[in-house]
């Protein structure tokens, strides 16, 4: 049967044109869009969706535009995707998905999720013909088609082609495509690509082999110059690869000048030294600022001309050539092989730390640890009383975690779950982490079911509701939020012997939440306040994180970092406690990485993990 959905809408698309009929669809049906729509629909039958050139809008946090639970063919459709949502989400293993004349574009890159994904549900075959995907994670056993475009230089995430088998083993996707254009893309694939046009693209056949017919590296794929890097790589060759012909693109004067400033065409850096790369012909005639590099493996050149120099970076990098012309240089010193030293075997085995020990090692939180210890002690004592047949006064096990962002509430919840399980207080070592938004549905009658399902998924363990104050009624969703709280209160009674609930959020807001429903205060009598970190504690957190990351600061850098943290705390500029420290260190590491790339220190092992005063001064400008 054929269905037509959509309406004469003027300038504003209409909601739910497809989801209204999705439960009626049968295998073989065709749905044609007669206008732009906004929708999120679950597709359970093998159907064809013909967009007829219209746009399928997916709202922010809308789940997904199409949630596929059966094979599906989508043609002539343009997807526009909001924040925290997907265009297409395949939710069943081994689906066949066919896309033709489709585009997938994000409204913005803030909180962007993949346009197309299947999560852990690997597809059997994805067919793409004339398809443009700005950011996706295509987990599939096979990928085929013509004229596929993947990735966007403005996106901070890589688009991936991969094959995840049973959510355990990763293998290379079998690929057979005509023209494939990629930027910011990782291809974990074997098979063949007839024409690959790419920039900042990884080729990794995972030990197998990939054949590329024509390879064209085009810096103008980043036409808006979104990639503001000192060194922009054309292609990373990471596994067994054969390139039949390298083609130099026709470039504008502006693009050629950019090549001279920041481009490196090839980087060969496979994991295995027995990897073989073949370049069988063609010519690269644009001079790049950064030389080509090979770190390990054998690279065979045949009938190939390159105006740039190739650097062989180690003894594991071998080059062979036939009827080829280019410059090369060994940039390493041969080392004498020494007999390996025998390490003394220690007779003392290091035991893994318990959750209680990990909690004790957390910086600060003295009162939090004290209250957690009292909570555990009471539960252990009551557990023993029950085992001995003694009377145990009924008491609530549920908790409120109150405090500012970044004070360790989630981390303590995870460790507390481990401690409860290690001491036999809960049946499963399970912490189900959700937010208030996960409990509230969009439509009448769905919230109760959604909340109940979340609670059931946490039975035997702990349900952790972060930012729980979002359940405070207010605005258009008053009814839905009240429904979620009512369901939560009821289920906490029904499952009181098999569930612990922790609600977390800002202290004042959590107190307001407890007043929303008369049943909440009596169920949440255990309250733990997480105070903001002091100056010294923030510095200690920074030092701990740096040690864990094996980063070394110079004396001047350490002094500067500590002064920055103290001044920020005194001026009430620390927004996020430990999270603020983590972000600060990330900006400092980024500044360090820019410096070592600019100075050509990538091969200096010590420089890779050393942070200088200049790195700290540059990094703090971004916080």
b or e along 186-200 (b: 16 or more beta carbons within 10 Å of the residue's beta carbon)? bbbbbbbbebbbbbb
**Same domain assignment for residues 246 and 365:** no
| Domain presence at residue 267 | yes
365 within domain boundaries: yes
436 and 520 in a single domain? The answer is: yes
Answer whether residue 349 is part of any domain. no
Considering the domain architecture, whether residues 517 and 540 belong to the same structural domain is answered as no
Whole-number Cα distances in Å, 304 to 198, 247, 296, 325? 19, 10, 20, 6
pLDDT digits (tens, 9 = 90+) for 357-390: 888 888 887 888 888 888 888 888 888 888 787 8
13 within some domain: yes
What φ, ψ does residue 358 adopt, rounded to 5°?
-65, -40
Residue where a domain stops, chosen among 473, 495, 530: 530
Classify residue 353 by its DSSP letter: P
Which CATH number do you get for residue 367? 3.40.50.300
Same domain for 378 and 289: no
What pLDDT shows up at residue 205? 93
Mark whether 263 and 204 lie in a shared domain. yes
Predicted pLDDT of residue 342: 47
The burial class, CB within 10 Å (0-12 / 13-18 / 19+), for 609 is middle
> The whole model's pTM is what?
0.56
For residue 167, being part of any structural domain is answered with no
Does residue 350 fall inside a structural domain? Answer: no
Q: Which of 24, 20, 25 is nearest to 5 (CA)?
A: 20
429 & 548 share domain: no
Report yes or no on 347 lying in a domain.
no
The answer to whether the Cα torsion of 236, 108, 228, 285 is positive or negative is positive
pLDDT digits (tens, 9 = 90+) for 418-431: 888 888 888 888 89
Q: Are residues 236 and 95 in the same domain?
A: no
Report the CATH number at residue 606. Answer: 1.10.8.60
Buried b (16+ CB within 10 A) or exposed e, 561-587: bbebbeebbeeeebeebbebbeebbeb
Task: Determine how many CB atoms are found less than 10 A away from the CB of residue 603.
Answer: 15
Task: Give the model's pLDDT for residue 160.
Answer: 92
Structure tokens at 120: 């852990």
Contacts (Cβ under 8 Å, ≥6 apart) of 27: 45, 46, 47, 70
Residue 306's nearest CA partner among 280, 324, 326 is 326
Give CA angle at 249 (248, 254), nearest 5°. Answer: 120
Element (H, E) at 605: helix 605-608
- 496, 530, 564: which is the final residue of a domain? 530
Show the low-confidence residues of the chain (pLDDT under 70): 7-16, 166-168, 332-351, 394-395, 475-477, 623
If asked whether residues 361 and 303 sit together in one domain, one would say no
pLDDT score of 14: 52
pLDDT at residue 334, as a whole number: 59
**Distances from the Cα of 269 to the Cαs of 8, 188, 246, 275, in angstroms?**
55, 15, 19, 9
**313: region left, alpha or beta (phi > 0 left; psi from -120 to 50 alpha):** alpha
CA 615, CA 97: separation in Å to the nearest integer? 47
Q: What angle do CA 197, 200, 202 make, to 5 degrees?
A: 85
In a domain, 146, yes or no: no
Tokens 């145990």 found at = 392
Q: How many structural domains does the chain have?
A: 4
Which helix (H) or strand (E) segment holds residue 568: the answer is helix 555-570
How far apart, in whole angstroms, are the C-alpha atoms of residue 619 and residue 136?
30
- Supply the range of the domain harboring residue 543: 535-622
Give the integer Cα–Cα distance in Å for 12 and 36.
8
Let me know whether 34 and 70 are in one domain.
yes
Residue 186 has phi, psi (to 5 degrees) of -115, 120
Say if residue 130 is in the same domain as residue 189. Answer: no
The verdict on 329 and 213 lying in the same domain is yes
Per-residue pLDDT, 348: 41
Which of 442, 346, 387, 404 lies closest to 530, judged by CA? 404
Residues 239 and 311 reside in one and the same domain: yes
Q: What's residue 10's pLDDT?
A: 44
Name the maximum alpha-carbon separation found in the chain: 90
Backbone φ and ψ for 561, nearest 5 degrees, come out as -60, -45
For residue 514, the tally of other CB atoms under 10 A from its CB is 19
């Amino acid at each position: 049967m054929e269905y037509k959905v959509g309406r004469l809408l003027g300038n504003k698309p209409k909601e739910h044109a497809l989801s209204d009929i999705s439960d009626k669809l049968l295998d073989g049906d065709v749905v044609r869009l007669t206008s732009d729509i906004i929708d999120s629909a679950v597709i359970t039958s093998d159907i064809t969706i013909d967009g007829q050139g219209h746009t399928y809008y997916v709202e922010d946090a809308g789940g997904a535009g199409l949630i596929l639970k059966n094979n599906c063919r989508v043609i002539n459709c343009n997807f526009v995707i909001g924040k925290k949502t997907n265009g297409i989400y395949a939710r069943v293993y081994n689906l066949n998905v066919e896309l033709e004349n489709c585009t997938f574009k994000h409204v913005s890159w803030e909180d962007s999720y993949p346009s197309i994904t299947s999560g852990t549900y690997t597809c059997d075959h994805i067919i793409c013909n004339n398809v443009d995907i700005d950011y996706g994670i295509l987990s599939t056993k096979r990928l085929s088609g013509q004229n596929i475009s993947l990735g966007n230089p403005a996106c901070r995430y890589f688009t991936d082609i991969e094959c995840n088998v049973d959510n355990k083993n990763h293998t290379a996707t079998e690929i057979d495509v005509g023209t494939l254009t990629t930027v910011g893309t990782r291809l974990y694939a074997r098979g063949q690509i007839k024409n690959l046009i790419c920039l900042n693209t990884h080729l990794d056949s995972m030990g197998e082999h990939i054949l590329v017919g024509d390879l064209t590296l085009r810096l103008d794929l980043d036409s808006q110059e979104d990639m503001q890097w000192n060194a922009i790589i054309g292609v990373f060759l990471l596994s067994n690869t054969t390139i039949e012909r390298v083609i130099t693109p026709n470039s504008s004067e502006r693009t050629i000048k950019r090549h001279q400033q920041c481009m490196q065409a090839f980087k060969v850096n496979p994991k295995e030294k027995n990897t073989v790369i073949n370049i069988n012909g063609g010519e690269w005639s644009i001079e790049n600022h950064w030389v080509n590099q090979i770190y390990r493996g054998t690279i065979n050149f045949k009938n190939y001309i390159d105006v740039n120099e190739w650097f062989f970076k180690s003894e594991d990098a071998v080059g062979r050539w036939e009827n080829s012309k280019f410059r090369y240089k060994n940039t390493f010193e041969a080392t004498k092989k020494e007999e390996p030293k025998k390490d003394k075997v220690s007779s003392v085995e290091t035991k893994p730390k318990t959750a209680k020990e990990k909690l004790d090692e957390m910086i600060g939180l003295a009162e939090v640890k004290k209250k957690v210890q009292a909570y555990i002690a009471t539960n252990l004592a009551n557990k023993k009383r029950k085992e001995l047949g003694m009377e145990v006064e009924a008491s609530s096990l549920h908790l409120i975690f109150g405090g500012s962002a970044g004070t360790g509430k989630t981390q303590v919840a995870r460790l507390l779950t481990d401690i409860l399980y290690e001491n036999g207080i809960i049946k499963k070592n399970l912490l189900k982490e959700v937010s208030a938004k996960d409990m509230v549905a969009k439509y009448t009658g769905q919230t109760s079911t959604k909340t109940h399902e979340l609670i059931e998924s946490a039975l035997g363990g702990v349900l952790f509701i972060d930012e729980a104050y979002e359940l405070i009624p207010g605005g258009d969703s008053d009814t839905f939020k009240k429904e979620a709280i009512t369901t939560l209160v009821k289920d906490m009674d029904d499952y009181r012997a098999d569930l612990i609930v922790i609600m977390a959020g800002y202290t004042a807001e959590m107190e307001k939440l407890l007043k929303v429903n008369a049943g909440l205060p009596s169920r949440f009598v255990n309250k733990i306040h997480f105070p903001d970190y002091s100056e010294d504690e923030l510095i200690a957190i920074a030092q701990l994180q740096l040690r864990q990351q094996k980063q070394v600061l110079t004396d001047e850098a350490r002094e500067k970092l500590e002064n920055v943290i103290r001044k920020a705390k005194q001026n009430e500029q620390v927004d996020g406690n430990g999270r603020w420290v983590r972000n600060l260190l990330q900006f400092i590491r980024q500044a360090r990485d820019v410096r070592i790339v600019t100075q050509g220190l990538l091969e200096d092992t010590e420089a890779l993990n050393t942070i200088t005063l200049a790195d700290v001064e540059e990094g703090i400008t971004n916080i």
